[in-house]
Copies of this chain bind each other. A is one copy, B any other.
Amino acid sequence: MSTDGFLLPLRLFVGFRQLIDGVHAELAREGHPDVRPLHGFVFQAIGRDGTTAVELGRRLGVSKQAAGKTIDNLERLGYVERATDPYDARRKLVRLTDRGREVLIRSAQIFDELRAEWAAQIGADRLRQLEADLVTVTGAEAFRLDVPGWFG
């Protein structure tokens, strides 16, 4: 039936990667050369309200230690900050700094721009349908962040 069973997964990945690379190339141009693809998902998982290392690990599908290391790195880069929870002395709240929020906002904007470029090539309605179809076939799958270990 199909000409090549590898076409679909390959193109999905290439599309994903082009979008991610496009965002990070632009972020690097705007003064954020150290932000990795991984970090974007972390920023999103932290969100405006902040989280803890354990909760972050849960959301991303990695161990709390791995989440802690990533937080260490982002803290060193100035994108997140830790604060003690006044209601629970065990917890350390992880929140985005202004710099971190800036990256989160810019990322969304750049993704929108890249999406618009796609829309210009295949048409806005076709792109909407592509997104809708992907949602249909993939369902409500949680995002797993253990990509490095998962792939290799």
Interface residues of A in 126-152 (CB under 8 A from B): 126-127, 129-131, 133-138, 141, 143-144, 147-152
- B9, A111: Cβ atoms under 8 Å? yes
Q: Confirm or deny: A12 has a beta carbon within 8 angstroms of a beta carbon on chain B.
A: yes
> What number of copies of this chain does the assembly contain?
2
Q: How far is the CA of A96 from the CA of B1 in the complex (A)?
A: 26
Contact call A5/B152, Cβ cutoff below 8 A: no
Which applies to chain A's interface (DSSP): helix, strand, loop or mixed? helix
Collect the chain B residues with CB atoms within 8 Å of residue A149's CB: 148
Instruction: Using known A-B contacts A11-B135, A16-B9, A137-B121, determine if residue A147 contacts B151 with beta carbons closer than 8 Å.
Output: yes
Task: Indicate if A83 sits at the interface (CB-CB under 8 A).
Answer: no
Q: Which residues of B contact A2 (CB under 8 A)?
A: 112, 115
**Can you sample 17 A-B contacts with CB below 8 Å?**
A4-B108, A5-B107, A5-B110, A8-B19, A12-B12, A14-B143, A15-B137, A17-B144, A37-B152, A38-B152, A121-B137, A122-B133, A126-B129, A126-B133, A130-B134, A147-B151, A148-B151
Apart from A11-B134, A13-B16, A148-B149, what are 12 other A-B pairs with CB-CB below 8 Å? A1-B112, A5-B108, A5-B112, A6-B111, A7-B135, A9-B20, A13-B13, A14-B143, A17-B150, A126-B129, A147-B152, A148-B152
